[in-house]
Amino acid sequence: MSNTKLSPGIVSARLSEEDYSNNFSDAYPGFSNYEAKVEADRCYFCYDAPCISACPTEINIPLFIRQISTEMEEEAAKTIFDQNILGGMCARVCPTETLCEEACVREAAEGKPVKIGRLQRYATDATMNSNIHPYSRDGSNGKKIAVIGSGPAGLACSHRLAMLGYDVEIFESKSKAGGLNEYGIATYKSVDNFASKEIDWLLKIGGIKINFNKTLGTDFSIDELRKSFDAVFIGCGLQDTNKISIHTGSEQFVEDAVDFIADLRQVNDFSSLPIGRNVVVIGGGMTAIDAAVQSQLLGAEKVTIIYRRNLDNMSASQKEQNNATSKGVKIIANAIPTAIEKENNIHKLKLSYTEVDNETGQLKELNQTFSIEADQIFCAIGQKFNNLLDVFQSKRGKIVIDNDGKTSVKNVWAGGDCVDKGEDLTVSAVAQGRDAAQAIHKSIISK
């Protein structure tokens, strides 16, 4: 985050130490043993369970819930990890309300699905807290795989390959592993340094080396890796953010919400982070929601989300929208920012209302404007992949892959947010990394 002050309204230490501690405590705490058993008993254990097909990693949900109900927590965790080695983080951040829980039979019958996400957290936490790693490798098979990026896709791919006997080397551009799990998840969703702990646990499989501060295109190239390794997997995510152009007549500028969230995840003292009195977040996805909610938790007096279309088009789930408004965040739909003005020493964001043209389906700006005070503005209108598109076949600014994760370049696979099949979900990235590892293994043993 830039240290440049946008206005005198941006200050640190707005709250007491106790308020910060309460505001950034675990938002969705895990079940107790009793709570987990009660919730597990609500499952119908459907034979043709719709929740399984709704899960991108296809976890056998009825099986692991039955294992919980019969006090087989370690086996339940193994059922989860077999499909999703980052099941602990996914239990915390996955939008289960629009995936497995939305498909739950009890959701259709009663409007109250089995709390699958919290049961998944209960099982995975039990195994991770006991320091058990349910997998082992027989030893090196002599083959080396390079993995670019240590986010969910890269970690899932690396773990599966290591389990299959490959020596994996990860090249990570940052000083810490985890990708968006480390830098891009709201702090109150992943407390107590969980992302780092999960990686330490995952690496117990052995056979995985992480090289930090190594950036593709600067420190190494795809061709160099192809010459030194038997295969390459790209899981470097989206490295850049989309910008918004707003006319400004002052020194004020728009900051990246992604950077703001990353700063929050790495800071040890929340009181050291300055926040505005009137904060505006532009965007309608999870990043916008996370930035807005955390601005409120840091002590902003008024936080507003501006979204260009109607609320039904927001990519953030209804649950997350409700969480934001419950914290005091205001959401203004069908509006776009056009200028930043300064009146009587007060910064204001000028906006125009929008509507969808019924004939063309395009969004159009109306000749109806309004202004709101804004001493700090965050932009969260999406991220983009800005590397290697001249090397690979690309589509919509991302790498094209086939059903096995294979790119247009020989012996190179990819997965996660950087590919055209990416869904901007941790769980989808895990599935693509896992499946690419299996495809890499199949390709190598067939030679």
User: Could you give the CA distance from residue 379 to residue 199 in angstroms, rounded to a whole number?
Assistant: 30
**pLDDT at residue 248 above 70?**
no
Same domain, 247 and 375: yes
Closest to 3 measured CA to CA, from 288, 260, 313:
260
What is 15-31 written as a DSSP string? S-HHHHHHHTS-SSPPP
Are 165 and 202 contained in the same domain? yes
- Report whether pLDDT(64) > 60: yes
Domain final position from 325, 353, 379? 379
Is the model more confident about 335 or about 360? 335
Q: Are residues 102 and 177 in the same domain?
A: no
Same domain, 247 and 178: no
> CA-based diameter of the chain, in Å?
73
Percent of the chain with pLDDT over 70: 96
Same domain, yes or no: 364 and 266: yes
Say whether both 74 and 171 belong to one domain.
no
The CATH number of the domain holding residue 58 is 1.10.1060.10
Looking up residue 249, the CATH number of its domain turns out to be: 3.50.50.60
Instruction: Say if residue 310 is in the same domain as residue 421.
Output: no
Among the candidates 362, 379, 396, a domain finishes at: 379
- Say yes or no to pLDDT of 5 above 50: no
Q: How many domains does the chain have?
A: 3
Q: How confident is the model at residue 197 (pLDDT cuts 50, 70, 90)?
A: very high
Which whole number is the average pLDDT over 51-71?
Answer: 97
pLDDT at 252: 52
pLDDT exceeds 70 at position 208:
yes
Is 235 found in the same domain as 265?
A: no
Grade residue 1 by pLDDT with cuts at 50, 70 and 90.
very low
Q: In sequence order, which residues have a C-beta less than 8 Å from that of residue 296 and are 6 or more positions away?
A: 303, 327, 328, 329
Residues 167 and 83 reside in one and the same domain? no
Indicate the residue among 129, 159, 192 that finishes a domain.
129
Same-domain check for residues 211 and 336 = no
Other CB atoms within 10 Å distance of the CB of residue 170: 24
| Residue that the structure tokens 């936080």 belong to | 303
Mean of all residue pLDDT scores within the chain: 93
45 and 167, same structural domain?
Answer: no
DSSP string, 388-445: STTTS-EETTEE---TT-B-SSTTEEE-STTBTT--S-HHHHHHHHHHHHHHHHHHHH
Q: Rounded CA gap, 164 and 372, in Å? A: 57
Q: Which domain holds residue 287?
A: 17-24+241-379
Domain for residue 74, yes or no? Answer: yes
| 375 and 261 in a common domain | yes
3-state secondary structure of 340: strand
Q: Is residue 9 part of a domain?
A: no
352 pairs with which residues across the strands?
336, 369
Q: What b/e readout covers 206-220, taking b as 16+ CB neighbours within 10 angstroms?
A: ebbebeeebebeeeb
Tell me which DSSP letter residue 335 carries: E
Residue 5 domain-assigned?
no
* 197 CB-contact burial (10 Å; exposed 0-12 / middle 13-18 / buried 19+): middle
What is the pTM assigned to this prediction?
0.94
CA-CA-CA-CA torsion sign (283, 286, 288, 292): positive
Strand partners, 383: 241
What confidence score (pLDDT) does residue 4 get?
44
